[in-house]
Every structure is written in C-alpha cells, then in structure tokens.
C-alpha cells in the first residue's frame, strides 16, 4: 500500500517513491523526517512497503527511487544505492531468550543454538552469515517472539525499540529475557538510487540542517514520549 506526503512542486523531480520495511513504525517515523526535508525542496514523497530484501533490490534497480532507512554499509552489496551521510537514527541490536542463558561471552555464543532472524534485514543476515549456525528466517518480529515462546528457537535477534513495542503490545505477560551484553549499535541512513545523485547535495544539506537544529532529535523524542504514554495507559488499564 502507499502512504503519501504531499508538497508543492518547485523543481524536478516533483516526486520520489521510497521503499520501507513493511510493519515498521520506526521507518514510518523516519519517513516523516525525510519527507519534511524533501518538502522544503519542493519534492513530494510516496512510500511503498515491501519485505526488506525485495525493497532493497527494487531500489537498487531503480524501480524505487531509494530507501527510507538502512544501515550504513548496504552499498557494499547494493552498489546503485548512495547513502545520504546524515544519520537519521541509531538503534541497538539485541538478543532475547527464554530457556537459555541470558548472559553470554559474546554474540557468537548464541549461534551455537537455534536462532530466529528477520528475513532480509541486512544487519541480521550479516550476523547469520558471519557466525553460521541453525538459522530460522521469519517475516516479522512478532513471529520471532512467537517461535521463542513456543520453544522452537533458543534466541532471537532484533532491534531493542522494535522489540519493546512488540512486547508491550502483544506479549504483556511474558518470560522473555534480554541477553547481555547487547549486540552493537547501528546508525541508520536514508539512501537514494544513483540516478538521483544530482539532488544528493540538496537533501544532504536539508537533513544536516534538521540535525543541527535538533529537529530530528525532537521527532524521535516525541515518538518515545508517545510510546511511554501508551504503555502507561495500558499499565493503568491492567491495574483496574
């Protein structure tokens, strides 16, 4: 499906279509930041959701104009995607378990067990390739937790913010334990197909201005506040 951010067109391109990972509230928040920057350039943004890997391939081929939010080194494998060098978000990669140790020497340790990852999520696929092991690929974070709950995997890896949202919404009373230490922190960036490299300086400057004025940070802080308020309301409901 499509989500549109409209703006008055001032100069070509009048519109860009960006791919984002379906069912990702984080990416939709990032899209609102990116759309604001493009609107100031007179460019409208449309969003089209796909499974993660398919979206990357479509953007790399130029079917889509770019990606809303990706880890910084995807250009190593998708050479037609150019990073806009302003970090939009930083997230923590984490692991969860139920029936195994929640304290490990290093991330490699969990790959001695059954691990579920999100299909096509670049940083998770990299870890799976690096450490090998018994990997199960699924299409949603909620499904990862469901497999963990059913005992069909021993660990899952995901982003902390995404995990917290899923746990608060779908697994209120659960036995999931976050593994320590965490995996690592990843910076996320906006990417455009190389055919749009002529607008790279323009969008880079707009996003950098938003970063320097604190506008990007305020959007994320607002999102965190909204999540906390929803969680508080839910806690009060269960206490009734």
pLDDT at residue 95 tops 50? yes
Residues 137 and 111 in one domain: yes
CA distance 135 to 150: 16
Percentage of the chain modeled with pLDDT above 90: 62
Residues 75 and 109 in one domain: no
Domain ends where: 149, 165, 185? 185
Residue 147's pLDDT band, with cuts at 50, 70 and 90, is: very high
pLDDT at residue 211 tops 50? yes
N- to C-terminal Cα separation, the chain = 38
CA distance 143 to 158: 12
Is the preceding omega at residue 13 within 30 degrees of 0, hence cis? yes
Residues 17 and 84 in one domain: yes
CA distance 193 to 103: 41
pTM (two decimals): 0.78
Q: What is the pLDDT of residues 98-116, one digit of tens each?
A: 989 888 988 899 999 999 9
Residues 69 and 114 in one domain: no
Residues 143 and 228 in one domain: no
Q: E-strand spans in 143-213?
A: 155-159, 177-178, 184-193
Residues 158 and 199 in one domain: no
Name the phi and psi angles at 94, rounded to 5. -140, 165
Residues 162 and 195 in one domain: no
pLDDT at 227: 56
Mean pLDDT within 132-146: 93
Q: Domain of 168: which CATH number?
A: 3.40.190.10
Residues 96 and 181 in one domain: yes
Pick from 7-11, 15-19, 65-69, 81-85: least confident: 7-11
Q: Return the structure tokens found at 237.
A: 């409901």
Residue 232's pLDDT band, with cuts at 50, 70 and 90, is: very low
Q: Which domain holds residue 200?
A: 2-89+188-239
For the chain, the 3-state helix, strand and coil shares in percent, each to the nearest 5, are 45, 25, 30
Residues 99 and 148 in one domain: yes
**Average pLDDT along the chain:** 87
Domain ends where: 185, 200, 227? 185
Residues 43 and 108 in one domain: no
Domain ends where: 185, 204, 230? 185
pLDDT at residue 231 tops 60? no
Residues 70 and 95 in one domain: no
8 secondary structure, DSSP code: -
Residues 121 and 174 in one domain: yes
Q: What is the pLDDT of residues 30-78, one digit of tens each?
A: 999 999 999 999 999 999 999 888 999 999 999 999 999 999 889 889 9
Split into its structural domains, the chain has a count of 2
pLDDT at 214: 97
């Amino acid at each position: 499906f499509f989500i549109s951010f409209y703006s008055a067109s001032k100069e070509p391109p009048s519109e860009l279509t960006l791919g984002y990972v379906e069912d990702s509230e984080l990416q939709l928040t990032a899209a609102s930041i990116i759309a604001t920057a493009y609107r100031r350039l007179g460019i409208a943004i449309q969003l089209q959701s796909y499974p993660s890997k398919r979206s990357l391939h479509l953007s790399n081929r130029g079917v889509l104009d770019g990606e809303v939010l990706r880890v910084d080194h995807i250009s190593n494998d998708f050479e037609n995607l150019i990073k806009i060098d302003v970090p939009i978000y930083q997230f923590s990669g984490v692991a969860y378990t139920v029936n195994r140790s929640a304290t490990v020497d290093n991330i490699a340790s969990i790959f001695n067990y059954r691990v579920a990852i999100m299909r096509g999520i670049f940083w998770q696929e990299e870890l799976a390739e690096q450490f090998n092991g018994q990997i199960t690929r699924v299409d949603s974070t909620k499904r990862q937790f469901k497999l963990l709950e059913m005992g069909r995997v021993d660990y899952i890896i995901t982003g902390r913010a995404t995990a917290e949202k899923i746990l608060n919404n779908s697994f209120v009373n659960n036995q999931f334990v976050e593994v320590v230490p965490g995996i690592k922190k990843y910076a996320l960036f906006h990417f455009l197909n190389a055919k749009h490299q002529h607008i790279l300086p323009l969008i880079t400057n707009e996003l950098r201005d938003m970063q320097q004025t604190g506008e990007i940070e305020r959007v994320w802080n607002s999102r965190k506040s909204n999540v906390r308020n929803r969680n508080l309301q839910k806690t009060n409901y269960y206490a009734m």
